[in-house]
Structure 1
């Protein structure tokens, strides 16, 4: 018996294995060359732990109330504390909408190290458009050396219309001595008998008159005439119209009123002061402006 067939089979198997090893080595060559060309493994980006934290720390920076109940007013609180070793002073609470009217607890503005504080914003649901809403409040403060700004956000979903107030805000630009008038309208889409029992102005320069309620097939609406006196102080001021109703879900509704009085004089670029009455002859007197939601 000869061993030649057996040896041929062994040689064939060896050739197959060598061919397979050559293919594997060829596939690994790019990786081997890359490893040889890399002097060391790249280091990750170092983290800078020396950057100081802001002086104020807030309990929560974002609030999501989701869908709110059909009530007249929603209050959103934000609490904070001074975690620095320096006293801080709140300079301004700047909301994305003036209707929010943020207010510091106790009107306190200065906070020593370790002390706590809180402010609230309020949403009058009757003045908001139904659907998802996003609001922000920029908290501007200083530690005596640096001015900081922290932005807080909150979301909510206003349910479908039931009681609405239009417009949600009133703007008056009183640049003459002629009285200005506009209108607020409280509309109830629920089919209930809501009545406006009182409307109060927080400034003597704005007067109010409740008109008779208007009834339709699916809603009722009460107009309120808002009048601004011909003479108001120079500069800008913010006030509110407080509307009281006999409805337990909407007992009080507040509407912001922004009033701009004419300046005492207008300064021209040449440096010559001209009395406002002369400037009015060149510029028509604007009427009350109403801002939508």
Structure 2
């Protein structure tokens, strides 16, 4: 029994030898509507009895930049540091999760030792419902479909124009409530062949990144499953 306990304690010590203790493994960040980037700081401490080296970090996305305490990667027992994640908001909206992988010491390159999550909450000023993509099947009746556009609570944003990239799709904006609600009605001229359009919806939003919205119209071939299961 003593041998088993000793082996277990030895395994436990080994499993904790290459760990950094992070104050939080997930950071929630609320981005201002006009922000272009946001940052999240993950503070950590080496509370093991041996030095720990961060051998690799992988943000998993070109939109995320990772910096670790000015380039310091080796931490002795009791030393602390900070990992800063800078997220380029680009055209993202809503809630976005980005995961950072950390490899410590000589761990296998296949799997990170630790994972940190940056959860960014990005305001959606112009909401398109139920979805941004309208779809028709080749050969079906080219009936019009509608995307409902509404502005975020407390915002007054007018739709000023709409443009389709394909002449086969006719787009029309109908005002439901000025500055608050609009309907985008899309009608394909025909559905004889597959095709698509990118629809640009222009608004007078004061925040540049929210000023132009995109929607899509697609005529698709029927799937094999649908064809065999009418």
TM-score norm. by structure 2 comes to 0.48
Q: Structure 1 or 2: larger helix share?
A: 1
Q: Could you say which structure has the larger radius of gyration?
A: 1
The structure with the greater share of residues assigned to strand is: 2
